[in-house]
A = this chain, B = another copy of it.
Amino acid sequence: MKYSKEDIQKLDKRFRANFVNSLSGFKSLNLVGTTDGETYNLSIFNSVFHLGADPALLGMISRPNSVKRDTIEIIRRTGFYTLNAVCEEIYMKAHHTSARIEGSEFNHCSLKHEIKKNFTAPFVEESSLKIAMKFIREIPIIENNTIMIIGEIQEVYFDEVAIDKSGYLHLEKLNILTGVSLEGYYKPELLSRLKYAKADKEIEKI
């Protein structure tokens, strides 16, 4: 079936949000941890993406006028945050952080905060892949009043069974999930890893 731009504009607002949010494909799922020095905040983001390996940069998109505003304001003010991959063991608790919660989402959603040496922002103890991030810059997306946050990776923590000798991290060995729209949670199964592609060669599995 076909939806045109005009069809999409005429849709009921919730239907449209769910539909358009499904179109970009499977999404990464991360819990963003911050603190203002008093409260430990936690908020689920499905828009973290790779920006570059050297320097090691990640981007993420935020709506300034949403529930998530606290997170962005604290990132701006303190300069630091954590990314904690959503794994199978905690995905329902992770989803709960999207609610309008007074006080610490860690407490409210029964997730443990973890403080590491020389880093102020809190990690999620139960997460299997934790990244300490330094805020670099934000870029306004004027078309819809969202902002893109650029951050630099400071530290990465995970179980060593997940890393391959080539540097590849088997996210499936860390039970990490992927999402669709704002409500679908999926467990990915590895089909194959493919070797670097060359024009005149058949594609080979690793």
List A residues at the B interface (Cβ < 8 Å). 1-5, 8-9, 11-30, 46-59, 61, 85, 88, 91-93, 95-102, 108, 129, 131, 136-137, 139, 141, 143-144, 146, 148, 150, 152-160, 163-164, 166-172, 176-178, 180-199, 203, 206
User: Which residue of chain B is the closest to A19 with respect to CB atoms?
Assistant: B167
List 17 additional contacts besides A20-B53, A20-B56, A24-B49; criterion CB under 8 Å.
Answer: A2-B157, A8-B153, A18-B164, A19-B163, A19-B168, A22-B169, A23-B169, A24-B50, A25-B28, A25-B129, A27-B28, A27-B50, A52-B141, A59-B61, A92-B203, A136-B143, A170-B180
Question: DSSP majority for the A interface?
Answer: mixed
Taken together as a complex, chains A and B put the C-alpha atoms of A16 and B167 apart, in Å, by: 7
Taken together as a complex, chains A and B put the C-alpha atoms of A194 and B172 apart, in Å, by: 21
| 10 shortest interchain CB distances as A-B pairs | A25-B28, A18-B167, A22-B169, A186-B188, A15-B167, A26-B178, A19-B167, A52-B144, A20-B53, A99-B197
Contact between A26 and B24, CB atoms less than 8 A apart: no
Contact between B186 and A189, CB atoms less than 8 A apart: yes
> Nearest Cβ in chain B — how far from A33, in angstroms?
15
Contact between A194 and B185, CB atoms less than 8 A apart: yes
Taken together as a complex, chains A and B put the C-alpha atoms of A16 and B169 apart, in Å, by: 11
Contact between B155 and A2, CB atoms less than 8 A apart: yes
Measured between beta carbons, the chain B residues less than 8 angstroms from A180 are 168-171
Contact between A1 and B178, CB atoms less than 8 A apart: no
Measured between beta carbons, the chain B residues less than 8 angstroms from A155 are 2-5
